[in-house]
Amino acid sequence: MKKIEKLKLKETLEKGIKKEFYLKTFLCVFCILLLLLCILYSIFLPKLTLKGSKEITISYNTKYQEEGYQASLYGKDITKKVKVRGNVNTKKVGVYQIFYSIENGILEEKKIRTIRVVDKEKPILELKGKEQVKVCPNKTYKEEGYQAKDDYDGDITSKVKVIEKKDHFLYLVEDSSHNKTVKKRSFTYEDKTAPNLKLKGNDTIYVVENGIYKEEGVEAIDNCDGDITHLVIKEGKVNTQIPGTYEITYKVIDKNGNVASVKRRVVVYKNIASGCIDPGVIYLTFDDGPQIGTTEQILNVLKEENVKATFFVTSKGPDTLLKREYEEGHAIGLHTSSHNYAEVYASIDAYFKDLKAVSDRVKRVTDHESKIIRFPGGSSNTISRRYQIGIMSQLTKEVVNKGYLYYDWNVDSEDAGRCVGKDANCIYTNITSRLSHNKCNMILMHDIKWNTANILRDIIHYGKNNGYHFAKITEGTPMIKQGVNN
């Protein structure tokens, strides 16, 4: 029995040894075949190599430059047979892949290059207004606005976050690529600005003896407190029964102690027939302009000599010159829109229609409503008889009733009369020989005349050197009138 068991065990061991032998033999043969297959694969498989990096990062909106590749088989260059698929859109942020492949029969070699298009530029954040702001005490800063633009996302103002602090604001904005921009606006709480205190009406007012002085008042606007006119203190009095010069001072203090003051001069004059309350003054007045060239030259001389004049304008000439006259501090008077006597003096209504036209122009250009006028030909003209008998007698009353002041002249330069065609000395002689320290010298000239422009500086020098002073006409200047002849 034991002998049989031993034989069975021996038989089992022998079978196991044979089985193991066969298995090892199989594995050995398989490995040899696999090795041979790999050798053959490596020999027949094309070789593909990418130049440069397999992973590339480039900025948005820049040009992608292919770095190249190389392929070979059996030592022979077959790069031209490489197939390339895929593209890179540098105008759009993202990840792109380029696929490269080369075939040899059923064998194919592949490579992949990854390109990342990124936006690294920070958004542009602009604050409207100043970054260092002065804020009135006890008031909060009123946001002036901001704007955010990104080279990729465009307008991203809506993404701006504002963090409010006590003494500053922080502005933060982030684009879709997580690029961030931060700006700061700082506040200083202080008020060192004096109120804006302005006179209503003229700074010099003329009142006839025993007449009525009408207080026109002032306006006070403060940058922090707003309208503080009710806080204005007035000092000084005017006695219209005693001729002389009076001074009224207006003063105002805002809540933060800033002070502003202005003064008004009130001249109470005797009711004398000549209408002159300032003997020795020269009023340079110019009719019929503005006109390119001559008016500019006259304005240049007046500016250089620091002299103010009065321009009785028409509807002709450029608005720019009219505006310059006003902005440089000269008085703007109304002459006529058309300067056509037949139209102007056809009737009372016709005159005021013409006057309104030139008045509207002055208001449009200067935002100032002038009440100073000069009749075409003067109040003493007789040419108006051809068109309406007695019209000047009516007009001289009607214009005053409507709130206008009309001014004639008592010194005629004759630059539009007998001096036409003569040299500029004719004008100079006419003016200088007729000046007087005993009267208000209202000089008639025309800023459309070249000789007038050329001789003006000499006339001013004569006045300065001989004790005269210059002024412009204001609504407080007494009217200098001639006799009415129609």
Domain of 207, in residue numbers: 196-269
Q: What mean pLDDT is predicted for residues 301-307?
A: 97
In a domain, 300, yes or no: yes
Return the half-sphere exposure (C-beta side, CA atoms, 13 A cut-off) of residue 287. 23
Identify the domain boundary among 152, 174, 189.
189
Ramachandran angles phi, psi of 453, nearest 5° = -60, -40
Residue 307, pLDDT score: 96
Would you place residue 274 in the very low, low, confident or very high pLDDT band (cuts 50, 70, 90)?
A: very low
Whether residue 403 sits in one domain with residue 291: yes
Residue 271, pLDDT score: 55
| Of the candidate ranges 44-58, 123-137, 205-219, the one whose mean pLDDT is the lowest | 205-219
What CATH number does the domain containing 243 carry?
2.60.40.10
Residue with tokens 């209408």: 275
Identify the domain boundary among 189, 210, 244.
189
Q: Which residues contact 65 (CB under 8 A, 6 or more apart)?
A: none
Whether residue 317 sits in one domain with residue 401: yes
What CATH number does the domain containing 440 carry?
3.20.20.370
Q: What mean pLDDT is predicted for residues 105-126?
A: 90
Residue 170, pLDDT score: 94
Q: How many domains does the chain have?
A: 4
Whether residue 309 sits in one domain with residue 388: yes
| Of the candidate ranges 62-71, 196-205, 337-346, the one whose mean pLDDT is the lowest | 196-205
Would you place residue 205 in the very low, low, confident or very high pLDDT band (cuts 50, 70, 90)?
A: confident
The larger pLDDT score, comparing residue 162 to residue 476, is at: 162
In a domain, 481, yes or no: no
In a domain, 482, yes or no: no
Whether residue 312 sits in one domain with residue 444: yes
Residue 196, pLDDT score: 95
Whether residue 202 sits in one domain with residue 141: no
Q: What mean pLDDT is predicted for residues 16-20?
A: 68
Q: What mean pLDDT is predicted for residues 14-37?
A: 64
In a domain, 22, yes or no: no
Structure confidence by residue, pLDDT tens digits, 318-369 = 999 999 999 999 999 999 999 999 999 999 999 999 999 999 999 999 999 8
In a domain, 292, yes or no: yes
| Strand bridging mode 47-50 / 69-73 | antiparallel
Whether residue 99 sits in one domain with residue 234: no
- 15 pLDDT exceeds 80? no
Whether residue 352 sits in one domain with residue 231: no
Whether residue 185 sits in one domain with residue 149: yes
Q: What mean pLDDT is predicted for residues 18-33?
A: 64
- 314 pLDDT exceeds 70? yes
Tokens (6 digits) for 484: 């009415």
In a domain, 391, yes or no: yes
Q: What mean pLDDT is predicted for residues 126-133?
A: 92
Q: What mean pLDDT is predicted for residues 107-118?
A: 91
- 399 pLDDT exceeds 50? yes
- 390 pLDDT exceeds 90? yes
Whether residue 135 sits in one domain with residue 66: no
54 within 8 A of 97, measured Cβ to Cβ: no
In a domain, 301, yes or no: yes
Structure confidence by residue, pLDDT tens digits, 215-227 = 889 999 999 999 9
| Of the candidate ranges 29-43, 248-262, 331-345, 403-417, the one whose mean pLDDT is the lowest | 29-43
Q: What mean pLDDT is predicted for residues 30-56?
A: 72
Residue 43, pLDDT score: 61
The larger pLDDT score, comparing residue 463 to residue 20, is at: 463
Residue 9, pLDDT score: 64
Whether residue 428 sits in one domain with residue 314: yes
167 within 8 A of 153, measured Cβ to Cβ: no
- 193 pLDDT exceeds 80? yes
Whether residue 426 sits in one domain with residue 344: yes
Whether residue 389 sits in one domain with residue 369: yes
In a domain, 169, yes or no: yes
Q: Which residues pair with residue 198 across a beta bridge? A: 219
The larger pLDDT score, comparing residue 420 to residue 403, is at: 420
Residue 275, pLDDT score: 61
Length of the chain: 486
Residue 273, pLDDT score: 41
Identify the domain boundary among 118, 139, 167.
118
Residue 303, pLDDT score: 97
Tokens (6 digits) for 459: 């006339």
Residue 37, pLDDT score: 58
Would you place residue 159 in the very low, low, confident or very high pLDDT band (cuts 50, 70, 90)?
A: very high
Q: What mean pLDDT is predicted for residues 388-409?
A: 92
- 268 pLDDT exceeds 50? yes
Residue 267, pLDDT score: 76
